[in-house]
A and B are shown apart, each in its own frame.
Chain A
Amino acid sequence: MRLAARVLLGFLAGLALWWSATPVYNRLLAGMAEGAIRAMERPRATRLYAEDRRLVIDRADFPSTSDRPSLPVDDLTFNVILFLSLAATTRGLLRDRAVRGVAVSLLVLFALHVLAVVANVEAFYATRLGAWSAAHYGPFSRNLWATAMHFWRFVGCYAAAFLLWWFLVRAAPAAPTASRAPSGRSSSRAASAGGPSRASRPRGKG
């Protein structure tokens, strides 16, 4: 019951944080992703800006009278709720190295969100602009960007949150305990963190 309460608390905190911070976060995301895209393109024509909960794609070479396409960013960033829900299950989350794990994980998630926006914008350029797409993107790059976009939306965003929690947060509190403990049993636990080998796993009859 306590674990369920912690998950619920983490989930609600994550949801509140994600929902309220998204407008500001999207502006930051737009700035970083725009810089990354412009670094890859010649001429540097892409402009990204946040509008409501979406990112609007603008280009200097779009006709001034045409509508500007936009991306729903919520789909790309909501895995922070999943990550914080999982982080809330960690014992000693606020007392030890887990805090550093959470901070590093959030930075990695931000970097992944920037890459996800880049992949989505490039996939849009590569597949949705008809003759322009065909003229500027070959079959390989079309498939590459479309696959990157789809992978992130389908499983990548979940896997990233899970793996960051599993390796950077959940595993973090065990290390100081293991280094302090003199017994071989504690050492074998530390050695088996995150996916023990069968040989190192205590089978526990007594």
Chain B
Amino acid sequence: MQPAQKKFLVRFVVTLGAFYLLVAIQPVNDHVVVPFTELLVRISTVLLAAIGEKTQSVGTVIQSPAFAVDVKNGCNGVEAALLLVAAMLAFPASPKQRALGIAGGLSVIQGVNLFRIVSLFWLGVHHRNVFELFHAAVWQTALILLAVGIFLAWSRFAGGGEPVEARG
């Protein structure tokens, strides 16, 4: 393994571990992660109403007479956000490039994650038989793929336009 690879690996693992410890702290979870998840739930409820689903939000729960979901860590996009930010911080780039990448990347991830929550609720109401497959495998994977895709696109931009594949 080349020194630059080792550096990236060490930085990524250390940053991800630090982020994980941060969000695992109970006060951070209670005062940051949970309120953020409740905000996602409220927005999702509005979006679901726009497509004709009669739902209401209670804390981190979206419920209707037909179905209910409790949005927890793993479904709030925080895990994809942590991976993306850790990778961007580990990759050599200027502070401005990092700031732009993180702001843009997190916006895209959370926008898509709202679509995930809405679509999963819709599947739970109308196609319950495939809900678990989409919940456990399809959407989880898709969101992380999105994060990796954003990182690769950004690393090309941060690398001055050189295709990232050429370095890997």
A residues contacting B by CB (< 8 A) are 7, 11, 14-15, 18-19, 72, 74-75, 78-79, 81-82, 85-86, 91, 147, 150-151, 153-155, 158-159, 161-163, 166-167, 170-171, 174, 189-198, 200-204
CA–CA, A150 and B29, complex, Å: 14
Q: CB-defined interface of B123-161 with A at 8 Å, one 1/0 digit per residue?
A: 000000000010011101110110011000000000111
Partner of B8, one of A86, A158, A161, A194: A194
Verify B20–A154 contact, CB threshold 8 A: yes
With A162-B148, A196-B159, A201-B159 as known contacts, state yes or no: A190 contacts B2, CB within 8 Å: yes
Interface centre among B13, B16, B90 (most CB of A within 10 A): B16
Verify A155–B79 contact, CB threshold 8 A: yes
- A residues near B4, Cβ cutoff 8 Å: 191-197, 200
With A153-B74, A196-B167 as known contacts, state yes or no: A82 contacts B141, CB within 8 Å: yes
| Cβ < 8 Å to A, chain B residues 62-114 | 73-74, 79-80, 82-83, 87, 90-92
With A158-B144, A162-B83 as known contacts, state yes or no: A189 contacts B5, CB within 8 Å: no
Partner of A151, one of B20, B90, B91, B133: B20
Nearest chain A CB to B110 CB, angstrom units: 17
Nearest chain A CB to B115 CB, angstrom units: 17
Q: CB-defined interface of B1-16 with A at 8 Å, one 1/0 digit per residue?
A: 1101101110111001
CA–CA, A127 and B70, complex, Å: 22
Of the A-B pairs whose beta carbons lie under 8 Å apart in the complex, a sample of 21, sorted by A's number, is A15-B141, A78-B136, A81-B141, A159-B83, A161-B144, A162-B83, A162-B144, A162-B148, A163-B9, A163-B12, A167-B9, A174-B167, A189-B167, A193-B2, A193-B168, A194-B5, A195-B8, A195-B90, A197-B92, A198-B92, A201-B159
* Extra 4 A-B pairs, beta carbons < 8 Å, given A192-B167, A195-B9: A82-B145, A166-B168, A191-B4, A196-B92
Q: Is B50 an interface residue (CB 8 A)?
A: no
Verify B162–A204 contact, CB threshold 8 A: yes
Nearest chain B CB to A199 CB, angstrom units: 9
- B residues near A82, Cβ cutoff 8 Å: 141, 144-145
- A residues near B11, Cβ cutoff 8 Å: 195
CA–CA, A19 and B8, complex, Å: 33
Verify B168–A191 contact, CB threshold 8 A: no
Verify A154–B141 contact, CB threshold 8 A: no
- B residues near A81, Cβ cutoff 8 Å: 137, 141
Please, which residue of chain A has its CB at the minimum distance from the CB of B93?
A198
CA–CA, A82 and B144, complex, Å: 8
- A residues near B136, Cβ cutoff 8 Å: 72, 74-75, 78
Q: Is B58 an interface residue (CB 8 A)?
A: no
Q: Is B49 an interface residue (CB 8 A)?
A: no
- B residues near A153, Cβ cutoff 8 Å: 74
Q: Is B51 an interface residue (CB 8 A)?
A: no
- A residues near B161, Cβ cutoff 8 Å: 204
With A147-B24, A155-B83, A174-B168 as known contacts, state yes or no: A195 contacts B160, CB within 8 Å: no
Verify B162–A202 contact, CB threshold 8 A: yes
CA–CA, A159 and B85, complex, Å: 12
Verify A195–B166 contact, CB threshold 8 A: no
